[in-house]
Amino acid sequence: MFLETLRSLCLSRPEQIAIERIDDPTEPPQVVRYGELEAMVLRTMAMLRQKGVQPGDRVAIQLGKGLPFIYLHLAAMRLGAISLPLNTAYTPSELLYFLQDAEARLFFTDVLPQSAMQELSMRAPCVQEIIGLEEEAQSAFERLLAPFADADAAAIPLPDDPDATCLMIYTSGTTGRPKGAELTHRNLTANLNSLHEAWEWRSDDVLLHVLPLFHVHGLIVALHGALNAGATTVLLTRFEPRQTLELLMQRPCTVFMGVPTIHRRLVEAPGAERYSLRHMRLVTSGSDRLPEELFHRFEEQFGVQLLERYGMSEAGMILSNPLHGERRVGSVGLPLPGVEVRIVDPESGALLPDGQVGEVQVRGDNVSKGYWRQPEKTAAAFTPDGWLRTGDLGLRQPDGYFMLKGRSKDLIISGGYNVYPSEVELVLNEHPAVEASAVIGCPDAEWGEQVTAVVVLRTGAKASPEEVVQFCRERLAPYKTPKRVFFTTDLPRNALGKVQKSALRNAYCQRSTERPSHLP
């Protein structure tokens, strides 16, 4: 299992650098070697055990990106408990839901004021203790561990049940309240092994880590991936494009993982033309669709081709373009080793032939065992023969590459025709004045749903709604062409840059029905 592999690496190569934490680029990084990582995790385990944490308990972690988060996360899983990472942007009211739903035993935070912690303590009595690291989190955490300098590894054996839940990631909750996806030791290990094989992780790799740690992308794919290989993670606590480019070149780094928003900021950084990333062997893109224009621009600018892949909280990574071979623009690639993927009719469940759009379903040891204490939603998420219904629409090409067409809940049905938002967005983004776009369906008495576009223009660019509609009309069938165009300065996104279409529907659909003409 992953934890066994990590412990073995810590003991066999104690001097290898595991993590370099960089907060201020003008100062030397904080270096943690694999032997030190093991020692700090053991001390953290001793602290958690002293606070009463038992196997199966939930340990909630709302900490900024740093070493305390990593120590707590690994220590909780090593104890047989369940690590529960929480977004640092969550408000106290949001946190109350997560803490109560998970019945967390402990809650660590460095973002809440004392008053908010006191209120949560009263309103969530299931939490036995809220530990606030309200000062500089690293120093506060070290003081917390001071009494546990002599933690004994032999006294705390590794978990031995591969199907025990060790990590819980709450889904975005675009339909109803967020659900806690239970990931087991088997799930994590299977996913890491498949990525290790597909991406050829090496112990001499250096990963520059700029993603949040509370999400599958930054936690499992990036951090776990590097640790599982005995590689080095350069942990950049705050993303800044120029600093990132400097580190990628000067460290030098071999692996980088980002989202399209991050990659765009890199290519648009002042002076970006002076940087070359040809020395890097792997630069991935995920968590949102990679525009074709950005794919080509990144390669032209930096001399390295992005590798797009696809995953989700409930299954980790599922598909990936090949490390060696064609990285197909617009495709999320091929199934990872040990992962099965199929396309079915969402209504009948019948297997669809290549080229037809249907629901993406996945099966394998990487797939979560279900949702925390929600047996009905767990049952609904799986087919009788054990395939996870992802809720994503896509198709399989004859040579095995997969393409995504959006979320099934985002599918627009206008006049009886299916409209896939991603297809319309691709056309919108070809307009020279358009920086970004999102397409949603708004209720319409005549057509059922009306294709509606929300567009961000490039700085200094001008375009009218009529011009944008005409541009689409020349390239799309009439039923796919947006009937309304809204201009905005920004699109609502989650922590990893994925557009939140439920928020757009709430913001624009009522306006769309109220106003009879095109909108500025």
Least confident of 31-45, 71-85, 440-454, 458-472: 440-454
d(CA 349, CA 385): 11
Instruction: Please report, for residues 115, 232, 233, the alpha-carbon distance to residue 204 in angstroms, rounded to integers and kept in the order given.
Output: 46, 7, 11
Q: Within 13 Å, how many C-alpha atoms sit on residue 280's CB side?
A: 28
| Residue listed under structure tokens 């009463």 | 52
Structure confidence by residue, pLDDT tens digits, 390-429: 999 999 999 999 999 877 778 887 876 778 788 789 889 9
CATH architecture of 411-514: 2-Layer Sandwich (3.30)
Computed from CA positions of residues 374, 375, 376, 382, in that sequence, does the dihedral angle turn out positive or negative?
A: positive
Percent of the chain exceeding pLDDT 70 equals 96
Predicted confidence (pLDDT) at residue 190 exceeds the cutoff of 80: yes
Rounded-to-10 torsion of CA 520, 481, 502, 512? 40
Beta strands of 268-387 (E only): which ranges?
A: 282-285, 307-312, 316-320, 334-335, 340-344, 358-363, 370-371
Over residues 434-471, the pLDDT tens digits come to 999 999 999 887 777 899 999 999 999 999 999 999 99
The model's pTM:
0.84
Residue 519 clears pLDDT 50, i.e. is over it: no
Please, where in the chain does CATH 3.40.50.12780 lie? 2-15+33-184
The pLDDT-based confidence of 517 (bands split at 50, 70, 90) is very low
Q: Provide CB contacts within 8 A for 459, sequence distance 6+.
A: 435
Least confident of 29-38, 115-124, 312-321: 115-124
Q: Does domain 2-15+33-184 sit in CATH 3.30.1380.10? A: no
Give the C-alpha separation, 133 to 73, whole Å: 16
Res 512 pLDDT > 60: no
What's the pLDDT at 494? 81
pLDDT score recorded for residue 174: 43
* Structural domain 306-408, CATH architecture: Roll (2.30)
Single-letter code of the amino acid located at 93 = S
**For the chain, how long is the longest CA-to-CA vector?**
72
- Residues of the chain within CATH 2.30.38.10 domain(s) are 306-408
What is the number of other CB atoms lying within 10 angstroms of the CB of residue 475? Answer: 15
Q: How confident is the model at residue 221 (pLDDT cuts 50, 70, 90)?
A: very high
Give CATH 3.30.300.30 domain extents, the chain: 411-514
